[in-house]
Amino acid sequence: MNLLIVESPTKTKTISKYLKGDYVVRASVGHIRDLPKSNKKAIDIAGGFIPHYEISKGKEKVVSEIKDLAKKAKEVILATDPDREGEAIAWHIKEACGLKKPKRIVFYEITENAVKEAIKHPRNIDENLRRAQEARRVLDRLVGYDLSGLIWKKVRYGLSAGRVQSPALRIIMEREREIRAFIPENYWVISGEFETENKDKIILTCEEEPKDEKETNHILELARANPWKIIEIKQSETKRSPRAPFTTSTLQQTASSRLGYSPSRTMSIAQKLYEQGLITYMRTDSLNVSKEALPQIYGTIEKQYGKEYLFPRIYTSKSKSAQEAHEAVRPTNFNLKSAGHTDEQKKLYKLIWERTISSQMADAKLLKTKVSANIISEQQAIIPNFSIIGSITVFDGWLAADKAAHGEETQIPKLSEGEKLKLLNIESQGKQTEPPSRYTEAGLVKELEKREIGRPSTYATIIKTIQDRGYVIKEGKTLLPTDTGDVVSTFLENNFSQYISDSFTAEMENKLDEIAEGKRKYEKMLKDFYTPFSKEVKVKSKTTEKITNLGEADEKYKCPVCGGPMIIKLARTGKFLSCAKFPECTGARKIDGSIMEGPKETGELCPQCGGKLIEREGRFGKFISCANYPKCKFIKQSTEQEAKAKTGVNCPECKKGEIVERRGRFGLFYSCSNYPECKFAIKAKPTGKICKLCGSLMMEGTKTIPERCSNKACPNHNPHKTK
């Protein structure tokens, strides 16, 4: 018997199908060992940054089972994922189970061919790869522990900081400050509706957008007072090339913008597709497509779209770091146009299929037509040209496979130069320049990659961490920093600017890559970093003041208790105004100056620990939490808040509960009050009406569609498209 060990049960199932007879396949179910929670025991710094691992809780059984099987096995093969994390898991299994000479195999797709081929070419565990993973783990633990400790002392208990999460938070805060400093400017957009000689209608827009209302009116006057003609028609052919196949980062970005998935959700769906053998390994920054896959892609394109659509291309990645996985994310079998068990798996698979296929297809050809017109007057061209640009697809090329990438087509009626136009109507619209926009999750992944912060294996975790810590919240699609995020980032930027800079973080990633390549030594790298860093933390611990005061409050807000001046402070729920004489006087106001009711005991006891329950006011209204926070994290909505959340609409699924408003990681949603027994939920507030087409609940829509069906499959979900 041969024993083959992987990290996930799904992978076990897929591989068992391929290996008949002599193989027993077992899963470690993720990591089996980790650093202990207590920091003293975790890392022996003086001894050379030696980590002391402990078997993770609940993994004792897995370890002893593997030990038993290994004794009976002729050969033990470690087939964990093909990157540093996978190499580390393999090494931990070897160490914890006392395996003598296990073989290590890697494959980038879980297909019969790839697995059987890998078994023919085993190697030893790559000490450099697993050391690089260990260095990252130790580094992150040391930085996180030291910085968090300092922030507990200087800002507030329970907060955290981290080597890569803090630079990401800083990037968000830098944008936020740009937005705060932004001064909007007025400008006017002028558009006219014209009739051509053929009685077609056409809308032309002024090529300049005046910043001044007087100038705008001047243009309007001349436009109305004079006859018009077409002065130029310019045609040009342009092309659009397909994009490279997916890397982790572009997969996360596209899944976010097209499907609305967060990076961590995308990664967990992709992982399931990978483990079923449907796609190649999803953590990669390579644009490579294997020699075996290319002919399959070419064949699929010729068969499904025709010869003229095929255009073989080679993509080279600009990432200089040779990460271990060396293929782009692609389907393993191109004949499968649809695959996956669930709706979300199918959607992500389709995205990957389309992206890979279209990357080997011909350019799309577009015909652009620019029509410019002006007034006919004695003084000639005293107002800017009015124009329109039309765009028609002459050949769709790769867009045939990736229909969602198709832009809007603008058709322009047949016109000729010199043709007279009749002005029907002209209007100006006052607008204001917009501040730079906040990052979306997809935008932040792109920014992190551009600045070389993080790696395919870490983007999703970074973005999840800053949200889990309460430094950033997601509103709609954008990431909004909280007051706490602002204060923590400002503290770190003022005191550890070098350590959370782009260049430093990117340099550390490069050093980790060099450890993986065997070009840099583990102990020296950690020592070179940690010696000055820990000294800096100690110095800052003595020299920086505790942040108790975030500035003076507006003078018009006096303490509601003693009438004295107030200052801005940070609470768990955000900024508020506190009496400057605190703790002698406990008067407080909300940040907007309104009166705040202080924390109040409710008289009830905590169902989790028996402590007193306390009602407080937070960012999203009143809530009840345990007096033993942060030891006990029990939290619930206040009765008043609960009443506000009720919609009065009964749950159509269990017919017992009521639909109530809830706040989740993706913002507000509406679900059954019988949760978790009933999992019914919809995205927007139900209006109380029932859909005439399918009988589902109707819900609030947008400005243009005031009401829509909550059932996504119903045509009434997008009523504007049914007309």
Q: Footprint of Zn ion on this chain (CB under 5 A)?
A: 559, 561-562, 564, 579, 585, 587, 606, 608-609, 611, 626, 628, 632, 634, 651, 653-654, 657, 672, 674, 678, 680, 691, 693-694, 696, 709, 711, 714, 716
281 is catalytic: yes
- DSSP3 helix / strand / coil % (the chain, rounded to 5): 35, 25, 40
CA-to-CA dists, residue 238 to 232, 392, 409, 412, 413, angstroms:
19, 10, 14, 17, 20
Q: How far is the CB of 663 from Zn ion (least distance, A)?
A: 19
Q: Judged by CB, which is closer to Zn ion: 367, or 567?
A: 567
Q: How far is the CB of 577 from Zn ion (least distance, A)?
A: 11
Residue in this structure with the two tokens 């942040």, named with its chain if needed? 547
Q: Among residues 515, 442, 511, 438, which one has the least CA distance to residue 478?
A: 438
**φ and ψ at residue 680, rounded to 5 degrees:** -60, 130
Q: Judged by CB, which is closer to Zn ion: 447, or 653?
A: 653
Q: Judged by CB, which is closer to Zn ion: 278, or 709?
A: 709
Rounded to 5°, the CA angle 101-105-109 comes to: 160
Q: How far is the CB of 625 from Zn ion (least distance, A)?
A: 8
Q: How far is the CB of 352 from Zn ion (least distance, A)?
A: 31
Contact criterion met (CB below 8 Å) for 420 and 198: no
Q: How far is the CB of 558 from Zn ion (least distance, A)?
A: 8
Neighbours of 525 (CB within 10 A): 20
Q: Judged by CB, which is closer to Zn ion: 303, or 656?
A: 656
Residue in this structure with the two tokens 């090494």, named with its chain if needed? 91
Q: How far is the CB of 77 from Zn ion (least distance, A)?
A: 48
**φ and ψ at residue 314, rounded to 5 degrees:** -115, 130
Q: What secondary structure letter does DSSP report for 652?
A: T
Burial annotation 620-645 (CB, 10 A radius, 16+ → b, else e) = eebbbbbbbbeeeebeebbeebeeeb
Q: Judged by CB, which is closer to Zn ion: 183, or 713?
A: 713
What does the alpha-carbon distance between residue 515 and residue 536 come to, in Å, rounded to a whole number?
Answer: 25
Q: Judged by CB, which is closer to Zn ion: 392, or 609?
A: 609
CA-to-CA dists, residue 441 to 179, 287, 505, 509, angstroms:
18, 22, 20, 21
Peptide bond into 122 cis (omega under 30): no
Its sign, for the CA torsion 616, 620, 621, 625, is negative
Rounded to 5°, the CA angle 553-555-556 comes to: 110
DSSP-assigned beta bridge partners for residue 707: 700
Q: What secondary structure letter does DSSP report for 212?
A: S
**Which one of 281, 499, 522, 670 is the catalytic residue?**
281
Q: Judged by CB, which is closer to Zn ion: 18, or 629?
A: 629
Q: Environment class of residue 225 by beta-carbon count within 10 Å: exposed (0-12), middle (13-18) or buried (19+)?
A: exposed
Q: How far is the CB of 602 from Zn ion (least distance, A)?
A: 12
Q: Among residues 144, 62, 69, 87, which one has the least CA distance to residue 496?
A: 144
Q: Judged by CB, which is closer to Zn ion: 310, or 678?
A: 678
Q: How far is the CB of 584 from Zn ion (least distance, A)?
A: 8
Q: Judged by CB, which is closer to Zn ion: 363, or 658?
A: 658
Q: What secondary structure letter does DSSP report for 257?
A: I
Contact criterion met (CB below 8 Å) for 263 and 256: yes
Q: How far is the CB of 692 from Zn ion (least distance, A)?
A: 8
Q: How far is the CB of 133 from Zn ion (least distance, A)?
A: 37
Neighbours of 111 (CB within 10 A): 18
CA-to-CA dists, residue 118 to 57, 66, 238, 291, 621, angstroms:
32, 21, 46, 16, 57
Residues with catalytic roles? 281
